A and B are shown apart, each in its own frame.
Chain A
């Protein structure tokens, strides 16, 4: 399902990063990404853009593809309960996503029906 423009707004990028932080502290993530904590805080609020270098480092710290921080999902993301531990669910979602990426690559090379 296409949900509109391909790229997220600055506010949406901030919200996505915030969602991926889980229980990690902002200061710790900012340090790992070589950013000033105030700058990261502004990014999370959507009032400051990420530089390309920051984007790559933040994505690396969060263990996701940089494109996933900027682009809308092509299909609806799976839902989960609001009372679940977001860090655990986020970790599970990334593990499952990697497994599906591999599945789709294998299927492109050797279609399952062949």
Chain B
């Protein structure tokens, strides 16, 4: 096979890194260059992701057989070295993050990029972390990439500074630092007992752990799972989420709408590899189910209670996490594909929604009150750091964009679309996702595969849609139709474009639901058949000399 195809799996990590680093070589003043690099990098990632998705469909079996690509970093095979594993799911997630990144990038070029320094590099590093987390097949490496994306997300949350952001950012950071400590504890225990860090190898070994050590191993996995669930935004570990997302700038928040999915992704991977049924407490089905249900209900309540749009969307994100976890926890594999479809739709929708919010709430995009009385840095350090002082007014003033006559109409329409998407009302993809979920739940119950308790999920799903409609119509009417109409915001193509892009994507998703669902169904199939994954990862050359499958025994 061609050498470049061979190296494809590592591209989603290397490309953003190089792009981010290269941007640092150009001063903030050379915006166009930086933007060019960022755009190029993001497009490349999107392209790579699409090719990866294509390869995982077994279209070219001679490259990857059975739809799983394994890339051994620094040529050391699993379980010794670190491997990147591309299957349908991970490829999909990479594609999704790139898809969100593109509009976020364009949107931020309009204004956001300039309310602080190093915005674009941070965005690239965030992507690097996301892609790494999705692709890596090694537990500790997963930790490292979590840290990468978290570090970048700290930077992005704080981007633009200001009281609200710093307040929310502080809490966000502390919570995530604690989560990282839990993460490390879990990994340590797992290594101490199972003696491996590679996930596939873990999938082999965990069953052979002697009873005396099983408790320790389970404890490790449990603590690890808590770390994931904190990131997934499970109640009661998700209090950090709404304020942080509400405080972050519109494009940043839009980008974040995929971050909770990383936690869920990790949970799914691990629980599947450890065999859902036998998996330790927090990963076992019923725990996820009830945890997810609690999250879902918490999200619904939050949606009803919140008055501010951005905050409300934060709760919408919580709802979608809850839905996903409940669907996963319900234990019926037929729910996975619809859940994934729902996840894609909601990720795109919340992304678009945050951007629309950014357009409606101009106040959030101009933290004048905070930057007003900042003493600028003395000359000397600007020379030292090559940053010319960007006077705030230049940052704040809206360079006259093309004021489309129907600016408000566009925003209003976009708002309505987003409402339809997040509440899962017809005819957009949100509905398709919810319908598919409800349909498969009911048919599973009808077939006797699922317990009656799953009716609760159906009810919660519909209720969340209703709650969203009530709250959003309230806010929407207040926002667009109250007679005290604020001056119509200038709409810029560069801001409207991304939103339109995302909305069109959801429409495409709606129209071509069948092929997408087919892909997802095969993704779910691969996911729920971990043996394929394990074989693919561990079936590497040099395996013979390895001892990945030895039973733990007392050394002399």
Q: Do A and B bind each other?
A: no
